[in-house]
């Protein structure tokens, strides 16, 4: 379907530029009319050009969508009316276009889940599967409520993950900047004074001078090295599935960060598995959808093994225990949930426990990083002072004698 860049006028006489998919110009005019806009002029353009100017649909937009639909569905408002009210209240041009298409497709006979599935870049497979389960069970309002809560939890989790990554990165950049300043500016001035004294320099002073010379001669290479390593790693991961698997395994074992990441993945898995299972999706389908949610190939491979064992007739607890990637807490809660028939409730308990533990671990990691960086800076400055002041002290001692 062609892309059109258009200018339209709203009911208040304000110009509204934007872009939209349409079969032709009359179709574009009809779609804009349904949005309360009158077409002024338009032109067809390439899709790539349009995408450059579009604001992405973010998680908070989906949260608003789910909350609105939960309220409308819970109040008994027909689906099309609820979508129409949402479309009229949105200030996101691209999302308004999508809601308009959803209304047209539903009017054309599609179910809501099928209409949502036409936009996989916005509504992923898990989202549409949950909506399908809600349609079949008649609990669409409850599904929208659970999705809204889950998206809010994802937003909070993303903020926590960003916090644990950004703080060490900022501190590391500061330490790196201080190191460059010391090695390129301060140390050469001090060592020039030491060399003029004519004494034999100790080994640690010679090492300091050599390191300083490396920084002075190859500062551009040292600055480019992290970027080269980053792009080289990305190229390596892009070419090899085995490399991506090994890197995901390394991330789970990495010092400090690995345990936190593992618990974040387990909390994400438990939350979505409980949500899908409570919505009426079968266990095997829940596991299959969870493979794309966890975001780690090692854990996804473990889920595939668990699904295979369950398909062969083993119990849920035994299957997950044999994968070797789920800690005793998850296995114990699965066993309780399987015995009581409340698997979703047991997994929600797992999610609650890990969410709390992730917050505590992030706080502990941050508390450890600051003194660790202080110690590193202290050792660096101590080495420089010892290497510089040591020869000066020796010279003064010889003069006194």
42 pLDDT above the threshold of 80: no
280: left (phi over 0), alpha (psi -120 to 50) or beta: left
> Which contacts (CB < 8 Å, 24+ apart) does range 347-352 have?
347/270, 347/271, 347/273, 347/274, 347/277, 348/270, 348/271, 348/274, 350/266, 350/267, 350/270, 351/267, 351/270, 351/271, 351/274
Q: Which is higher by pLDDT, 399 or 112?
A: 112
Bridge partners for 42 per DSSP? 6
pLDDT of residue 31: 75
Q: What does the pLDDT read at residue 2?
A: 67
pLDDT higher than 60, residue 290: yes
Confidence of residue 395 (pLDDT cuts 50, 70, 90): low
Average pLDDT over residues 216-240: 86
* pLDDT bracket for residue 276 (50, 70, 90): confident
Structural tokens at position 363: 């706080």
Confidence of residue 55 (pLDDT cuts 50, 70, 90): low
Q: What is the 3-state secondary structure (H, E, C) of 71-133?
A: HHHHCCCCHHHHHHHHHHHCCCHHHHHHHHHHHHHHHCCCCHHHHHHCCCCCCCHHHHHHHHH
Contact 317, 308 (CB under 8 A): no
Q: Per mean pLDDT, which of 20-29, 182-191, 216-225 is the most reliable? A: 216-225
Q: pLDDT tier at 369 (50, 70, 90 boundaries)?
A: confident
Q: Which two tokens stand for residue 209?
A: 């001078």
CA distance 181 to 138: 66
Question: Is 25 a residue whose pLDDT tops 80?
Answer: no
Q: What is the mean pLDDT of residues 268-294?
A: 81
> Tell me, what's the pLDDT at 50?
43
Q: What integer pLDDT is reported at residue 52 of this predicted model? A: 43
Separation CA 279–CA 284 (nearest Å)? 14
pLDDT mean over 228-250: 87
Run of H or E residues at 199? none
What pLDDT does residue 189 have?
A: 76
Looking at residue 40, what DSSP letter applies? E
- pLDDT for 337-349, tens place per residue? 888 878 888 888 8
Rounded to the nearest integer, the mean pLDDT of the chain is 80
102 or 44: which leads in pLDDT: 102
- pLDDT for position 151: 84
Measured CA to CA, the distance from residue 246 to residue 237 in angstroms comes to 9
Nearest to 143 by CA among 116, 167, 170: 116
Token pair 């889950």 is found at 150
Return the ∠ at Cα 287 (arms to 68 and 329), rounded to 5°: 95
* pLDDT above 70 as % of the chain: 91
Predicted local confidence at residue 53, as pLDDT: 45
Backbone angles phi, psi at 118, to 5 degrees: -75, -10
Least confident segment among 125-129, 158-162, 277-281: 158-162
Model pLDDT, residue 400:
56
pLDDT tier at 330, thresholds 50, 70, 90: confident
- Is residue 65 pLDDT above 70, yes or no? yes
Each as own residue / partner, the long-range contacts of residues 247-251 (CB below 8 Å, 24 or more positions apart, any chain) are: 248/296, 248/297, 248/298, 248/299, 249/298, 251/296
Residue 51 scores a pLDDT above 70 = no
Helices 283-293 & 125-137, crossing angle to 10 degrees? 150
pTM of this prediction? 0.64
User: Does the pLDDT value for residue 54 go beyond 70?
Assistant: no
Instruction: In whole angstroms, give the CA distance from residue 367 to residue 380.
Output: 21
Mean pLDDT of 250-272: 82
Phi, psi of 42 (to 5 degrees): -160, 165
């Amino acid at each position: 379907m062609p892309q059109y860049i258009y200018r339209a006028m709203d009911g208040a006489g304000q110009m509204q530029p934007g872009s939209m998919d349409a079969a032709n110009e009359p179709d574009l005019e009809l779609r804009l009319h349904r949005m309360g806009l009158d077409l002024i002029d338009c032109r067809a353009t390439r899709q790539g050009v349009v995408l450059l100017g579009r604001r992405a649909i973010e998680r908070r937009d989906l949260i608003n969508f789910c909350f609105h639909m939960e309220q409308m569905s819970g109040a008994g408002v027909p689906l099309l009316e609820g979508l129409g009210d949402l479309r009229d209240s949105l200030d996101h041009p691209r999302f308004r276009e999508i809601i308009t298409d959803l209304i047209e497709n539903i009017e054309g006979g599609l179910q809501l889940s099928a209409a949502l599935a036409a936009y996989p870049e916005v509504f992923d497979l898990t989202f549409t599967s949950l909506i399908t389960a809600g349609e079949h069970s008649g609990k669409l309002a409850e599904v929208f409520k659970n999705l809204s809560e889950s998206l809010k939890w994802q937003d909070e989790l993303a903020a926590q993950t960003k916090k644990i990554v950004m703080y060490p990165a900022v501190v590391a950049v500061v330490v790196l900047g201080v190191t460059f300043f010391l090695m390129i500016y301060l140390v050469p001035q001090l060592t020039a004074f030491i060399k003029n004294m004519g004494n034999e320099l100790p080994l640690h002073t010679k090492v300091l001078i050599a390191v300083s010379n490396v920084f002075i001669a190859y500062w551009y290479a040292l600055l480019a090295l992290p970027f080269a390593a980053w792009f080289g790693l990305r190229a390596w991961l892009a070419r090899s599935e085995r490399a991506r698997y090994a890197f995901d395994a390394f991330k789970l074992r990495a010092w400090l960060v690995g345990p936190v990441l593992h618990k974040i993945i387990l909390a994400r898995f438990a939350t979505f598995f409980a949500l899908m299972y409570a919505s009426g999706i079968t266990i095997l389908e829940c596991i299959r959808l969870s493979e794309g949610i966890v975001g780690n190939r090692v854990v996804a491979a473990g889920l595939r093994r668990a699904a295979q064992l369950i398909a062969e007739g083993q119990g849920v607890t035994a299957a997950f225990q044999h994968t070797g990637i789920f800690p005793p807490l998850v296995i114990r809660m699965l066993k309780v949930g399987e015995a009581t028939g409340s698997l979703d409730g047991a997994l929600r308990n797992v999610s609650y426990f890990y969410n709390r533990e992730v917050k505590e671990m992030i706080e502990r990691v941050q508390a450890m990083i600051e003194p660790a960086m202080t110690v590193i800076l202290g050792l660096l400055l101590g080495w420089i002072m010892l290497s510089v002041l040591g020869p000066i002290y020796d010279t003064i001692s010889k003069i006194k004698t």
